[in-house]
Homo-oligomer: A and B are copies of this chain.
């Protein structure tokens, strides 16, 4: 039996509308995964909004609606978001919000009211966009002593630093480009000064260490002083520069800070580039972990919000032991892939022509012939194949292996 969950969304911009969109498109899969029938009952926005459900400009008409059990707050900022959240809690609604600023600044107050009113307030989307980090910290790592948690939690600054690093341009130039491309806001202050990352640092500290941290107590330094010279020197000595949000327990005291840092190239965070986010966790007994993904945007954030909506229904046990279905399987011959082929051939003219003809006869198309090295009079040839059904490749290789100009097919490896 499906359990109906009526949802109200306050704020119908990028994120709010993505939530509605995904709930519509993934309705069947959510029902199958969780037994929940998610319904958007009403949305609120001060702008005119086209939507296939009731739209109001009065948030209270959602908060007061006795038919709605979960409110998604997607307004952003503190005012009026905090007012909406507190009012929803008092009206015994669960609240789901990706609003990092209001959670960072008012978490104690919000969670206190939630406890008192026996409702849940979840905020998976407030850190790392679609990356599951709050739930894994709270539940998967509940048996751990977390020593430190730090990460790349701001996509704009990571995009800028990555571009500076790859293209050798200065901060101001890259920032201007990022604004044009929509990777930076028209007013990027909160990102480049580190304020956005500081909100997330407070939320991570609260989640990992149960600690209430005021924004004023977080040391916060942005990336505006990072020059091309620093990036190049860092590179030469084996480091990349990243803006990190850090929460670390040292001798019983908590350090919470945001600043650029040199990260060794061997560190898993070093490979996190462009607008991606990643959060690194160290604890006992788990050792090192990293969670990587898209840290912002409507769709990834909607993933987090919907998982939180599902969590408010508390259907864990059903979900966890769902019945498996017999899968319709695709056999290995029926998959399609790109391929790497290494073969040996005597260095005669006509080798490649012969191989190409054989491949073409089975509709196998060569993407590149990348190497040709001689040992004695035997050449090693490496061929990359465009995406093709595996059975075609196998049929072609059968022909190739019998060509008089081919000595041996040494290896065939799929390319992911």
Contact = CB atoms under 8 A, between A and B. Distances in A.
B253 A139 contact: no
A377 interface: no
A351 interface: no
Given A370-B237, A416-B262, A299 B324 contact: no
A328 B254 contact: yes
A209 B327 CA distance: 9
Given A138-B320, A229-B410, A254-B328, A285 B261 contact: no
A85 to B, nearest CB: 14
Interface string A112-143: 10110000111010000011100110111111
A307 interface: yes
Contacts of A310: 139, 142-143
Given A143-B26, A261-B413, A327-B254, A120 B307 contact: no
Contacts of A309: 143
Closest A-B pairs by Cβ, 8 of them: A143-B306, A132-B140, A211-B327, A285-B299, A286-B303, A219-B332, A290-B292, A271-B271
Contacts of A306: 142-143
Contacts of A150: 416
Contacts of A286: 130, 293-294, 299-300, 303
A260 interface: yes
Contact of A340 (B112, B262, B267, B293): B262
Nearest to A297: B287
A292 B289 contact: yes
A141 B132 contact: yes
A359 B15 CA distance: 51
Listed residue (A139, A254, A287, A335) with the most chain B CB atoms within 10 angstroms of its CB: A139
Contact of A324 (B107, B268, B300, B410): B107
Main secondary structure, interface of A, reads: mixed
A416 B261 contact: yes
A90 interface: no
Contact of A253 (B145, B300, B324, B328): B328
Contacts of A289: 130-132, 291-294
B324 A211 contact: yes
Contacts of A230: 340, 342, 410-411, 413
Contacts of A213: 327, 329
A414 interface: yes
Given A29-B145, A227-B411, 4 more contacts: A139-B310, A219-B332, A250-B335, A289-B293
Contact of A329 (B29, B253, B288, B314): B253
A374 interface: no
A324 B22 contact: no
Contact of A139 (B316, B331, B368): B316
